[in-house]
Amino acid sequence: MAARLGSPLVLGIGENEFFLGSDASPIVDHTRNVIYLDEGEMVTLSPDGYEIKKITNNVCVTPVVTELNWSVEQIEKGNFPHYMLKEIHDQEQTIMDTMRGRLDVENGTAHLGGIHDCLPRIERAKRFYITACGTSWHAGLIGKYLLEEYADIPVHVEYASEFRYRRTVLDSETVVIAISQSGETADTLAAIRKSKDQGALTLGICNVVGSSIARETHCGIYTHAGPEIGVASTKAFTAQVTVLSMLALMLGRRSNLSLAEGRRITKSMNSLGAVTRTILENSAPIETVARENALAEHFLYLGRGLNFPVALEGALKLKEISYVHAEGYPAAEMKHGPIALIDIKMPVVFIAPHDSTFEKILSNIQEVKSRKGRTIILTDKRTPDLERLADYLIEIPTTHRHIFPIVAAIPLQLLAYHLAVIRGCDVDQPRNLAKSVTVE
């Protein structure tokens, strides 16, 4: 017997066998048919089959069997030594899969069928909350920038673990966007239930069809990233940012965003597969950076504007799988404390696209260089200044400034991966971490 009360519960139905877990990912090796139990349900398994009932009144429940549409290739490593490296390389395809059938280049917009019925209420909303945990929270920070810039909607980004316990302004004119790779994150589910109780519209962004978040939110958007086996999230992050970019684009085009700008954005998004391939095919400089900095015990990641959350995500990846202490900061905040840490032993990773923030971040690079810090610069254009100031220069293709965070995340994932391998860490199953955090 197994019951769901607080934590998620998945039943896998095989041939003359059953599987129980808190997530579908470990079950998919054995069967594609799963049932996601609702809160307050229990299942009894026997040689004769299974039976699902309500805990409170013992009434039988007619279950909905979901078929996982993951291919064998998606759940195997193939020729890669680790799932994480495979999933980093998968992004050439998964980013495009996330946009397939949704991106409208001609009209400079996106079509998101999963939220169509709720669009009038979304457009009437006076405020948005984005709630998530970990990597999904970083994606939410990028979503905040895009939604506020494109659609003129005030957006608050909250850790789900904090959101569920503090007083928040929630009512019928509020939209709460909940982001989770697994769709089973306990704190995020609790935040959704709180939001619904207080009359807000809930919109889920998740990767697993039929998961708890997909079922409990009023509407939602699937990322279509496929199964992610490695504990450190990679392709799920870029898929989430891609979905948030399309959501912001769609809402912007329905209000004040011009057709010309919409077309520029959609054309850049449409080229993300080719851009990702270019990065993956030219990753040798990233391996060099990892090899020559593998003994460093502290890293600092700095970015401005949209790229500050990318700095946070880069630092998190390094912490998760390399066990190296790393911090992400807004570059301008470096002088408000972290600059005291900088010395010859401190590698500092700068995210430095050639946009309106470039001159400012160039000044930050000079500050670090003058204190003999090791500078690792990720940019979309080599310049004499950058070549003079960089100990390591990683160049990636130029793209629209609002799409750059998706592109910039990939080399930072590779940096964390190679550092972890060199340091002899378990890349796919780092210590103390779980793929889905299904308990508080």
What pLDDT, on a 0 to 100 scale, did the predictor assign at position 317?
A: 96
CB 13 within 8 A of CB 47: no
Cα separation values, 128 from 66, 114, 170, 220, Å: 31, 18, 9, 15
Three-class SS of residue 247? helix
pLDDT in tens, the chain (440 residues): 999 987 788 999 999 899 998 877 778 778 889 998 988 999 999 998 999 999 999 999 988 898 887 665 666 777 899 999 999 999 999 999 999 999 999 999 999 999 999 999 999 999 999 999 999 999 999 999 999 999 899 999 999 999 988 888 899 999 999 999 988 888 999 999 999 999 999 999 999 888 889 999 999 999 999 888 888 899 999 999 999 999 999 999 999 899 999 999 999 999 999 999 999 999 999 999 999 999 999 999 999 999 999 999 999 999 999 999 999 999 888 878 877 788 888 899 999 999 988 999 999 999 999 888 899 999 999 999 999 999 999 999 999 999 999 999 999 999 999 999 999 999 988 887 766 666 66
Token pair of 248, please? 């912001």
H helices present in 177-258, as ranges: 186-197, 212-216, 235-253
Q: Give the pLDDT confidence score for residue 235 in this predicted structure.
A: 96
Structure tokens of 148? 């506020």
Q: How far apart are CA 200 and CA 405, in angstroms?
A: 29
Whole-number pLDDT of residue 156: 96
pLDDT tens string 342-365: 888 889 999 999 998 899 999 999
Pair of tokens at residue 368: 């670090």
pTM: 0.90
Contact between 345 and 299 (Cβ < 8 Å)? no
User: pLDDT at position 164, please?
Assistant: 85
* 239 close to 139: Cβ distance less than 8 angstroms: no
Query: Is residue 200 helix, strand or coil?
Result: coil
288 is written with which tokens? 């060099």
pLDDT digits (tens, 9 = 90+) for 415-439: 999 999 999 999 988 887 766 666 6
**Please, what is the Cα angle at 413 between 248 and 191, to 5 degrees?**
50
